[in-house]
Structure 1
């Protein structure tokens, strides 16, 4: 069974119930043997919003991480001196709050986790990076490595970079540069409206949008700029009215989760027919919310999309859909699969679960899966990988073999940016342990 703890704010999801009959490792198993015991499961703590307005994003992460660890365990686990060891994922509900995330971190460490995963908030990632750094200095016997799959504020691998933090998603500046590959060719674009969530990530997206528009499309005016509270706006109609009234031909946004879905729904309802250049417009309800109005209008950037036109990519996606057949569960993240493969490779090469030894191996990790590959850049711990940009279309149209969440709409790949082209300079001054 999956771990349940009322004290930690965890809950057994419908997905966990559906998977309970599978041969997964239980939390009880990890508690009956020392963390480093031969054959003992290696605990990975997932700290994420599993309740509240962004619960759907947390559950999507859990499905991906679960599937990735199942793949590692199916091939025998991670070879270690004394015998191979499986990975086990333990869920901790941050409830979308930084204080809850810090409480979850303390609980995870006490429960024996030495590898922590989080990503669906750059603000939360920042406080976890700081807390983990202080913990690792105070308690070297229980040091922790932080694997970040979605927190993309550039500062996390620049001025706030940490030896203990590794990011597996392209940061906001990298994603914006990929979107600009398409924006450069949008000759109809004369005015852009910038809107985002009012925290470090949303602010970073707007800053970079203005910077890159000025450099690459100086003819495009920023006709509106707005930040809104994260996860608290229930009615985006006032924002949508301002977007339409501005005369913008496009919206540029880093919004995610319900903040994106509600925004695009409101824009559709007020009759805005411009483009949406998004970081996350390819899933979590957005395509279904837009419907036909989004065809040819919504652009999304990602590390991978289901309609990447290769046999390996198709087989990978079909395999995920077999594991999670419910249409609403089909948001698969390639970077999370590569992240778990990186962790498995690094533990194997280290020959131990000691955080320092594993982190040192992770700095030079190179992995590949289903035709996708990536490598960790040791200088700042920013994973380097190719990116793709897709445009929304109806399923069955050329290039749209697979839809999103059973909506009947998917994303046709229009740009593929190689890893060396997506790479950007950094300002990290890494302080490494002696």
Structure 2
């Protein structure tokens, strides 16, 4: 009899353990956690986990706790596909988030469509992901190359610069940055001149030949989508070689990058989705919560990319709550057209292309910062979301009219 009771208890507790494990909402976070871009992956994970902890502390979503499953993409599409498939099939991942590499988003498209997994991303920017390459399971919770190009072009209309040199990493995102900026300039600033254009391998160590060409071109602005170590090396070597042109980038708001660039970044400019210098009520509260937890860390204040990732999860959670279901079709329907008060203003998930629309923030790098002991972004100029948004009919998405 005693043996029967023991076996029965084992079965009950074993089953209850399985049920408990199934109660979590598992989100796979797939970004680089090794190699030269590890820092970016780690920062994204900090922002995601901060949002998850906040949601879980308030009771979770639909009565369930969220769990992040962390996997290293190595910035390799084949590795990402393998690890995503494993997480979906073996670890019960119900959602996927990755923020680094358009090529990985494209590679994951067949996987998430086959398994009906919602995939969201704040920082894979190539416009075609929500345009001609759209599929219904992908949501972009950040801007894209067309949107930030339009924002920069709107700003440059108010400035005296008219000579631009474009330099980017030689992969799909770099080419999208170049093409979309040229299109935006042609439309908004027809008297602007592209005085040069180059594409370089990722993790380039010597930018000397490129910088020599930029100096010879007499460019006033260097427009680049370079990120991580490439942006750091490009800008530091440019200043060492005497280049005076202003750099304009959507990547010049990441603290680890700006710390390494140092004084070489002063005077250049960034377009951002999130900055700690934005003084909304929501951002002040987020800023203080972050600082209370991380004041003694290397990132005592939130910035790119943690702000992007935090807002991304919070917006996703709102869609799940509205759907009152974890069914992907219900969440898709709920998220389409949803508005949300994010840290830096109200955002909208456009229904036709799953592209988030938001205010953007253009700032110059200043020598002294109230937040960090190195040159950082100052008070921004706000670009309203209506100014930066690409009209639906121009997205290349057949669902948008």
Provide the residue aligned with 1:402 in structure 2: 371
Tell whether 2:96 aligns with 1:124: no
Counterpart Cα distance in 2 of 1:191 and 1:371: 32
Over 3 Å counting, the alpha-carbon distance change for 1:65 and 1:256 in structure 2 is same
- In the TM superposition, what is the alpha-carbon distance from 1:347 to its structure 2 partner? 2.1
Displacement of 1:175 in angstroms is 0.5
Question: For 1:281 and 1:331, how far apart are their aligned partners in 2?
Answer: 11
The SS at the match of 1:53 is helix
The worse-fitting range, judged by mean Cα deviation, of 219-228 and 95-104 is 219-228
Distance in 1, matches of 2:20 and 2:222, equals 49
Matched with 2:326 is 353
8 Å contact from structure 1 (residues 254, 278) kept in 2 = yes
Question: Structure 1 residues 286 and 271 mapped into 2: Cα distance closer, same or farther (>3 Å)?
Answer: farther
User: Which residue number corresponds to residue 288 of structure 1?
Assistant: 259
1:389·1:414 contact (CA, 8 Å) conserved in 2?
yes
Task: Please tell me whether residue 423 in structure 1 is matched to residue 389 in structure 2.
Answer: yes
TM-score, normalised via structure 2 length: 0.88
Render the CA deviation track for 1:360-382: whole Å, top value 9, x for unaligned: 22223222144522121110000
Residue 43 of structure 2 aligns with which residue? Answer: 60
Per-residue CA deviations over 1:182-205 (Å, capped at 9, x if unaligned) read 222221x24211001111111011
Give the distance between the partners of 1:268 and 1:355, measured in 2 at CA.
Answer: 50
What SS class does the counterpart of residue 209 from structure 1 fall into?
helix
| Structure 2 counterpart of 1:307, from 264, 272, 277 | 277
Q: Deviations over 1:26-85 (max 9, x none)?
A: xxx9x9435995xx1111100111111111111110000000111101111112xxxx11
Name the residue aligned to 1:207: 179
Q: Which has the higher helix share?
A: 2
- What runs of 5+ residues in structure 2 fail to find an aligned partner? 1-13
Contact 2:61 2:320 survives alignment (8 Å): yes
User: Quick one: distance in 2 between partners of 1:311 and 1:284?
Assistant: 23
Structure 1 position 324, deviation (Å): 2.5
Map 1:268-283 to 2 at 5 A.
268-283=239-254
Pairing partner for 2:55 from 61, 72, 81: 72
Which range is displaced more, 54-63 or 413-422?
413-422
Q: 1:371 to 1:290 in 2, by over 3 A?
A: closer
Contact map agreement 1:122 1:200 (CA 8 A) in 2? yes
- 2:78 is matched with 99
What is the CA–CA distance in structure 2 between the aligned matches of 1:121 and 1:35, rounded to whole Å? 34
* Distance (Å, rounded) in 2 between the aligned partners of 1:429 and 1:35: 43
The alpha-carbon distance between structure 1 residues 285 and 340, as it changes in their structure 2 partners (threshold 3 A), is closer
- Work out the CA distance in 2 between the residues paired with 1:288 and 1:339: 25
Query: Which stretches of structure 1, 4 residues or longer, exceed 4 Å deviation after superposition?
Result: 34-37
| 1:402–1:75 distance in 2 versus 1, CA, 3 Å | same
Alpha-carbon distance in 2 for matches of 1:311, 1:430: 36
Distance 1:256 1:237, change over 3 A: same
1:348 Cα deviation from its structure 2 partner: 2.3
Quote the Cα distance in structure 2 between the aligned partners of 1:85 and 1:132. 22
Contact 1:251 1:274 survives alignment (8 Å): yes
1:179 paired residue among 152, 156, 164: 152
Q: Distance in 1 between matches of 2:208 and 2:382?
A: 34
In 1, Cα distance between equivalents of 2:211 and 2:354: 38
Counterparts of 2:175 and 2:120 in 1: how far apart (Å)?
23
8 Å contact from structure 2 (residues 250, 271) kept in 1: yes
| Aligned pair partner of 1:411 in 349, 359, 377 | 377
| Offset at residue 359 of structure 1 (A) | 2.0
Q: Partners in 2 of 1:388 and 1:307 — Cα distance?
A: 10
Change (3 A) 1:166 1:63: same
> Quick check: 268-277 or 284-293, which moved more?
284-293
* Residues 367, 354 of structure 1: alpha-carbon distance in 2 compared, 3 angstrom cutoff: same
The answer (yes or no) to whether the contact 1:249–1:275 under 8 Å persists in 2 is yes
State the Cα deviation string for residues 331-388 of structure 1 (Å, max 9, x = none). Answer: 3443322221222222223333222222222223222144522121110000111111
1:377 aligned to 2:347?
A: no
Question: What's the CA shift for 1:131?
Answer: 2.8
1:336 aligns to 2:309 (yes or no): yes
What SS does the corresponding residue of 1:327 show, helix, strand or coil?
Answer: coil
Give the distance between the partners of 2:281 and 2:117, measured in 1 at CA.
38
Instruction: Determine if the alignment matches structure 1 residue 114 to structure 2 residue 114.
Output: no
1:140 aligned residue: none
